[in-house]
Amino acid sequence: MAVRRILRMGHPLLRQVSRRLEPGDLSDPALRGLLDDMVDTLHDYGGIGLAAPQIGESIRLAIIEIPGGPTRYGDLAPMPLTVFVNPQVNVIDAATAGYWEGCLSVPGLRGFVERPQHVRVQYQDLQGAEHAIELQGFPATVLQHEFDHLDGRLFVDRMDDMSLLVFEKEYERYHS
């Protein structure tokens, strides 16, 4: 287990489309080691989500862990640490909700992004079993943000108004 360095915007790997994980990948013990590194890295950096490409692995794997309780996004229902293999997002309600997003690969910045607010996510777990969940509001945004990484997209690509790309200190002072 180890904390890995997180690639930052500008690294070409963050712009690649990652490959799907096949059954043979899931049974490879190396994948468990990579996942342990991802969890250690997420906790060390203090994030709520991490996609494998952010630590240099171009595969369709992401983890999410949303702490519950009152936050700047409102009173959140927690999502325990969840592993998403080959996730796919289907929009249920295209009406958007906007949130200030940050990203461990875009350190120091926040940007206001509007995304579909109600989605269904199909994914596999580490054993390859299929799952589907429906999400609304902030968790729907978190998952869409993370899974964008698997297609080489960053939150800044989703912004409509670049005047709402700001540094964290200015975010706290003028926008929170």
146 is catalytic: yes
Comparing CB distances to Ni ion, the nearer of 26 and 168 is 168
Minimum separation from the CB atom of position 139 to Ni ion (A): 15
In this complex, which beta carbon is closest to Ni ion, that of residue 103 or of residue 143?
103
Residues in contact with Ni ion, total (CB under 5 A)?
Answer: 1
β-pair partners for 11:
none
CB of 143 to Ni ion, least distance (A): 11
Six-digit token string for 6: 């997180």
Helix, strand or coil for residue 106?
coil
- Give 82-103 as a DSSP string: EEEEEEEEEEEEEEEEEEEE--
Instruction: List the catalytic residue out of 146, 168, 170, 172.
Output: 146
Stretch that binds Ni ion, among 4-12, 34-42, 73-81, 99-107 (CB under 5 A): 99-107
Stretch that binds Ni ion, among 65-73, 81-89, 98-106, 117-125 (CB under 5 A): 98-106
Q: Choose between 103 and 135: whose C-beta lies nearer to Ni ion.
A: 103
List of residues 6+ apart from 142 with CB closer than 8 A: 48, 49, 64, 66, 79
Tally of CA atoms within 13 A in the half-sphere of 175 that contains its CB: 17
Judge whether 8 and 105 are in contact, CB under 8 Å: yes
Enter the DSSP assignment of 153: -
Residue 96 burial by CB count (10 A; 0-12/13-18/19+): exposed, middle or buried?
middle
Stretch 27-66: interaction string toward Ni ion, x if CB under 5 A: ----------------------------------------
* Chain residue at closest Cβ approach to Ni ion: 103
- Residue 103 is a binding residue for Ni ion (CB under 5 A): yes
Just list the catalytic residues: 146
Contact residues for Ni ion, defined by CB under 5 A: 103
